[in-house]
């Protein structure tokens, strides 16, 4: 499926809400990815406001390895730079990025699906040194209570939000990434891992989470506010959430 370019760059208009509302990534995942990869420079694709970058930068600082981030939206990048001043940030899409070195690890958090599916693995392969690793991961977050989730999904359907609704379970994108690499002789040691945790979102943070999702952002402002009012009425003072981070790993075979 081609990438929806218009939707791929809407995040910057809500950069602050995005940064405070979106969940981060488990420390275990960050440690596992760095243990899987050989030592050396690291590249992050679609770093956004740095939700993954902060954790990777903290661990990499203990090894002295440098981190470069590619991010097309200057508003997202401004938040990233404020949080991670020592990280090199290249403004632009990955498809147009020309690496000045070969990386030991390329990772992408919640962003790989925005990169051209016909070119992304070729570009990743070219950016990596021999034996270099690729790690792509996505958070799935669902309201834990199935009855409340069904009510919220019904609201979304009335507003024609279906495939990217926050209130339906989404495909495991890491599995898709794994499948895309299976059978490609340029990659080896393919693995898929899953990390689950739970947490509570108060009403304000939950509504910001909805605002940070592209399917809701592209609605007209008035329509979006009406939808948010309906969600607010259903969730009361907050919701319990279940988070799963799905990770796909691979390594250059040559
Ligand atoms: C859902 S956000 C994820 C941001 C961050 N990695 C995180 O985990 O919160 C997707 C990010 O990918 C960026 N993006 C969209 N298209 C891209 C492309 N072709 N190359 C690199 N980044 C892209 C967007 O600007 C946005 O910051």
Domain chopping of the chain, boundaries: 5-142+170-198+242-252
What are 203-249's pLDDT values in tens digits?
Answer: 999 999 999 888 898 899 999 999 999 999 999 999 999 999 999 99
Q: Express each pLDDT in 173-202 by its tens digit.
A: 888 888 899 999 999 999 999 999 999 999
pLDDT value at residue 10: 67
Output the CA 48–ligand 1 centroid distance in Å: 5
Q: How far is the CA of 94 from the centre of ligand 1 (A)?
A: 10
Q: Between helices 203-211 and 221-235, what is the axis angle to 10°?
A: 150
pLDDT tens digits, one per residue of 17-67: 888 888 999 999 999 999 999 999 999 999 999 999 999 999 999 988 899
At 127-186, the pLDDT tens digits run 999 999 999 999 998 999 999 999 999 999 999 997 778 887 777 788 888 889 999 999
* Ligand 1 contacts CB of residue 70 (under 6 A): yes
Q: Which pLDDT band holds residue 2 (cuts at 50, 70, 90)?
A: low
Q: Which of 64, 86, 75, 58 is nearest to 13 (CA)?
A: 75
* Ligand 1 close to Cβ of residue 29 (< 6 A): no
Q: Which two tokens stand for residue 221?
A: 């402002």
Calculate the dihedral angle through the C-alpha atoms of 48, 104, 193, 161, rounding to the nearest 10 degrees: 30
pLDDT of 175: 85
Residue 30 Cβ inside 6 Å of ligand 1? The answer reads no
pLDDT bin (cut points 50, 70, 90) of residue 8 is low
Judge whether 121 and 180 are in contact, CB under 8 Å.
yes
Q: What pLDDT is stored for residue 231 in this prediction?
A: 97
CA distance 82 to 3: 29
| Domain 5-142+170-198+242-252, CATH | 3.40.50.150
User: How far is it, in rounded angstroms, from Cα 236 to Cα 156?
Assistant: 17
Q: What is the DSSP letter of 169?
A: P
* Ligand 1 centroid – CA 49 distance (Å): 9
- Structure token pair of residue 73: 């939206």
pTM above 0.85, yes or no: yes
Strands 187-202 and 238-252, by their bridges, are: antiparallel
Determine whether the shortest distance from the Cβ of 94 to ligand 1 is under 6 A.
yes
């Amino acid at each position: 499926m081609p990438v929806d370019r218009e939707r791929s760059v809407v995040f910057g208009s809500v950069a602050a809400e995005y940064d405070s509302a979106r969940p981060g990534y488990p420390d275990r995942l960050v440690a596992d990815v760095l243990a899987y990869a050989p030592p050396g420079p690291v590249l992050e694709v679609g770093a956004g406001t740095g939700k993954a970058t902060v954790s990777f930068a903290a661990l990499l600082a203990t090894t002295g390895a440098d981190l470069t981030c590619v991010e097309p939206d200057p508003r997202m990048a401004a938040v990233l730079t404020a949080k991670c001043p020592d990280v090199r940030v290249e403004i632009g899409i990955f498809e147009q990025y020309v690496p000045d070195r070969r990386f030991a690890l390329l990772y992408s958090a919640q962003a790989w699906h925005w990169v051209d599916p016909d070119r992304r693995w070729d570009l990743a392969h070219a950016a990596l040194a021999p034996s270099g690793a690729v790690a792509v991961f996505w958070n799935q977050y669902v309201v834990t209570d199935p009855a409340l989730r069904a009510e919220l999904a019904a609201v979304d359907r009335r507003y024609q939000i279906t495939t990217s609704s926050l209130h339906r379970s989404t495909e495991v994108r890491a599995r898709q990434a794994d499948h895309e690499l299976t059978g490609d002789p340029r990659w080896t040691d393919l693995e898929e891992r899953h990390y689950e945790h739970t947490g509570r979102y108060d009403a304000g943070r939950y509504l910001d989470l909805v605002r940070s999702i592209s399917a809701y952002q592209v609605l007209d402002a008035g329509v979006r506010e009406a939808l948010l009012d309906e969600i607010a009425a259903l969730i009361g003072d907050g919701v319990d959430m279940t988070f799963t981070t799905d990770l796909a790993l691979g390594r250059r075979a040559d």
